[in-house]
Structure 1
Amino acid sequence: MSVMTPTEFLGGAVPVDGYGPGFFRVGGKVHHGAVIVTETGVTPWQGLDDTAPLLALSGVVDVLFIGMGADVAFPPRDLTDALEAAGIMAEPMNSPSAARSYNVTLSEGRRVACALLPL
């Protein structure tokens, strides 16, 4: 398991604490499978075809880091187009990088979320 570097978070925001094969630890709790993480908590996610919970972040977040698993890949174009139309900037990267980027951006007090596919 990889453990994330502790940092300061404003107002009780929830960070990604660690990750490993098939799971993420968020706010001290282990979650198996894909997840969406916001400053208020974690939600199970069904993956790239499950667009509704991502689009529901419109007006709540400005940037969404999309963790594509162990490797860098691009999400389907229709997903990124839909997110852009909803006012959400999507940044695809591998899941470890997405988790770290989420934590850093969250610690800056910015409106951010991450959608993470497991390793």
Structure 2
Amino acid sequence: MRINEITFDDARPIDGYGPGFFRVGGELHDGPLLVAGGAPRPWAGLEDDAALLDLAGQVDVLFVGMGGDVAHIARSLRGTLEGAGLGVEVMSSPAACRTYNVLLSEGRRVALAALPV
């Protein structure tokens, strides 16, 4: 098997997650999290659409992690985000973290908004 080392340049990948927390670049963060431009910050959850709209023009795809299970976001929120030019992919938080890391390693302009598992 051949293993390739992945570099993330200035961005920080999601190292782990668990009940109520995320670990990003070795730092522990409690509660919902927004990660964009290599900077993780607390997020107030789905009601905090302003924080997500601020990403318009900065990222191409926003991964929304809905916790331990797959769920949908409100149609109105999806419409608002897509209307602002954000691609929105909704999935469970574990899947969102993994997908975010893969695209981040490719140098893509991505962000993660995730609810803890």
TM-score band by shorter chain is over 0.9
2:65 to 64, 67, 75: 67
Give 3-state SS (helix, strand or coil) of 2:112's partner: strand
Distance in 2 between residues matched to 1:72 and 1:11, nearest whole Å: 30
Distance in 2 between residues matched to 1:112 and 1:69, nearest whole Å: 19
CA 9–39 in structure 1, closer or farther in 2 if over 3 Å, else same: farther
Distance in 1 between residues matched to 2:100 and 2:8, nearest whole Å: 14
Give 3-state SS (helix, strand or coil) of 2:9's partner: helix
Partner of 1:25: 23
After superposing the two structures, state which structure 1 stretch, 7-16 or 28-37, moved more: 7-16
Number of corresponding residues: 113
Structure 1: 5+ residue runs without aligned partners? 1-6
Distance in 2 between residues matched to 1:15 and 1:77, nearest whole Å: 29
1:107 to 96, 105, 109: 105
Aligned residue type for 2:103: T
Question: What do you get for the CA RMSD once the two structures are aligned?
Answer: 1.0
Cα displacement (A) at 1:10: 3.6
After superposition, give the CA deviation of every residue in 1:86-111 in whole Å (9 maximum; x if it has no partner): 10011000000000000000000000
Who wins on radius of gyration, i.e. which is larger? 2
Structure 1 segment 30-41 matched on structure 2, within 5 A: 30-41=28-39
Structure 2: 5+ residue runs without aligned partners? none
Cα displacement (A) at 1:9: 3.0
Partner of 2:96: 98
- Superposition TM-score, scaled by structure 2 size: 0.93
1:8 to 6, 9, 18: 6
Distance in 2 between residues matched to 1:19 and 1:91, nearest whole Å: 19
Contact 1:33/1:118 (8 A) holds in 2: yes
